[in-house]
Amino acid sequence: MIELVLEEARERFAKALEHLRSEFGGVRTGRASSALVETLTVDYYGTPVPMKQLANFSVPEPRLLVISPFDKGAMGAIEKAIQNSDLGLSPSNDGNVIRLGFPQLTEDRRKALVKIVKQKAEEGKVALRGVRRHARQELEALEKDQGLSSDQIERVEKVLDKMTQDEVARVDELLSHKERELLEV
């Protein structure tokens, strides 16, 4: 049972880290990346659909993202979704594809984006601590229900704390990488 609790915690840690990676991918760095627009919701014939289900993406140049819709009738809806997003980008439509030019980020905007990334990293750390708290509650329930000794529980809690520290270190690693990426001119 103890192994089951630890395995569930590992899975939840992995999911929290993956979520954080996707959150970081959605923060604009001045370089073109499909991760910025893939999850935007497009009103496609009255149904909200993620953009990645409606188009292919390519990056022919570092500051240019080309969106090729599968259905040319969706171009207007895709353009509207991009304009309504908080990306601050203006789409250019030539009838076949939509081009997004990424302007150079100003220093103030870079600093603001670093603050946003730090906030997201802190939210990730809170999620990791929540996973640890949940696992500890399960261990306490096991202690009461199955009569496990407090020594066993203490050993498992140390393992759980070590796992949490390792995951927090990964979050810090991701954060420093994203900061360097944002501050790179």
Which of 101, 130, 153 is the last residue in one of the domains?
101
Are residues 173 and 148 part of one domain? yes
pTM reported for the whole predicted model? 0.69
Q: Letter for the amino acid at 2?
A: I
Q: What is the mean pLDDT of residues 157-171?
A: 94
Q: What domain range is 118 assigned to?
A: 2-25+106-183
Res 113 pLDDT > 70: yes
Are residues 136 and 86 part of one domain? no
Are residues 117 and 48 part of one domain? no
Three-state SS for 111?
helix
pLDDT interval class at 53 (50, 70, 90)? very high
3-state helix, strand, coil in the chain (%, to 5): 65, 15, 20
Burial of 104 (0-12, 13-18, 19+ CB in 10 A): exposed
Task: Give φ, ψ of 26 to 5 degrees.
Answer: -85, 0
Beta bridge partners of 93: 98
Residues 6+ apart with CB under 8 A from 109: none
Are residues 94 and 39 part of one domain? yes
Helix (H) or strand (E) holding 40: none
User: Could you read off the pLDDT of 57-85 as tens digits, one per residue?
Assistant: 999 988 889 999 999 988 999 999 988 88
Query: 89 near 82, Cβ under 8 Å?
Result: yes
Per-residue confidence (pLDDT) for residue 123, from 0 to 100: 93
Which of 101, 122, 146 is the last residue in one of the domains?
101
Report the CATH number that the domain containing residue 147 is assigned in CATH.
1.10.132.20
Three-state SS for 185?
coil
Helix (H) or strand (E) holding 97: none
